[in-house]
Structure 1
Amino acid sequence: MIRGAARILLGLFLLVAGTAHLTVARDAFRAQVPTWFPADADAVVVVSGVVEIVLGLALVALVRHRALVGLVVAAFFVAIFPGNVAQFVEGRSAFGLDTDAARGVRLLFQPVLVAWALWCTGAWELLRRNSRRARTRPRS
């Protein structure tokens, strides 16, 4: 029950964040697109916003495939981490993160989001189960 509520909460968080990408926080999200990334910053913000909305809906609606969704959401959080690092390294202010200390603390939360996605969807158990099977499988 707690994991289910945490999954729904994470899904709602992604829905809100994705909607903000496309509306009220578009400029702030542009600050997280690394200057070295070879794509238009606004396009990156729009695409990542749409992806967040889709992932949020999947977390809420796809109960039967929740572990797979959890793996995809965790991978998404890993994929966008360079944007958080770029915001820190390049000293870009956004979302009230206007000091290196604040931007640095934010970096610590990305692993929390990855763990949350894996835990609340049961993806960790799926990974452990598959890892155990791989270790006990006879080698040819």
Structure 2
Amino acid sequence: MTEAPRDDRRRAVMRWLMAEFYAAAGIAHLAIPEPFLRITPSFVPFAPQVILLTGICELAGAAALVTTPMRRWAGIGLAAYAICVWPANFKHAFEAIDLPLLGSSWLYHGPRLAFQPVLVWWALYSAGIIDWPWRRPPDHVK
């Protein structure tokens, strides 16, 4: 088996998992915005409209990630999105805002904050923008 087909399958699985995750998050932002409003930093203007827009962006990003012509832009957009919403995760953690199903435990917040850079990488890898860490070295380097 060559590396390319395995890599294609790996990316496809990761792409679909990420799309499902962002689609679910987008639906949650639109259906139940109140928990997201509670963790939105105070410096964010027009918070209800921003929550609505983030839900739409998550749904659009999920759909575009699994659509070949838009995949690259979706990866870049979802990576940027993950960085932009990180302040809400910090507020959720440091202000100990208790949300249904999540609570305010550092057993949740510690891994959640540490995982945000992984979401950035995941979006970029799934979209085919980066190869690390699974890129094979050239034959002359082995």
Aligned to 2:134: none
2: CA distance, partners of 1:75 / 1:30: 20
Q: Indicate if the aligned counterparts of 1:33 and 1:44 stay in contact, CA closer than 8 A.
A: no
Which structure 1 segments of 5+ residues have no match? 126-140
**1:118 paired residue among 121, 124, 130:** 124
Which structure 2 segments of 5+ residues have no match? 1-8, 132-142
* TM-score (norm: length of structure 1): 0.77
Secondary structure of the residue that 1:91 maps to in structure 2? coil
2: CA distance, partners of 1:83 / 1:122: 28
Matches within 5 A, 1:1-140: 1-23=9-31, 25-37=32-44, 39-61=45-67, 63-94=68-99, 95-125=101-131
1: CA distance, partners of 2:66 / 2:73: 13
Large movers: runs of 4+ above 6 Å: none
* TM-score (norm: length of structure 2): 0.76
Q: Indicate if the aligned counterparts of 2:64 and 2:74 stay in contact, CA closer than 8 A.
A: yes
2: CA distance, partners of 1:40 / 1:65: 29
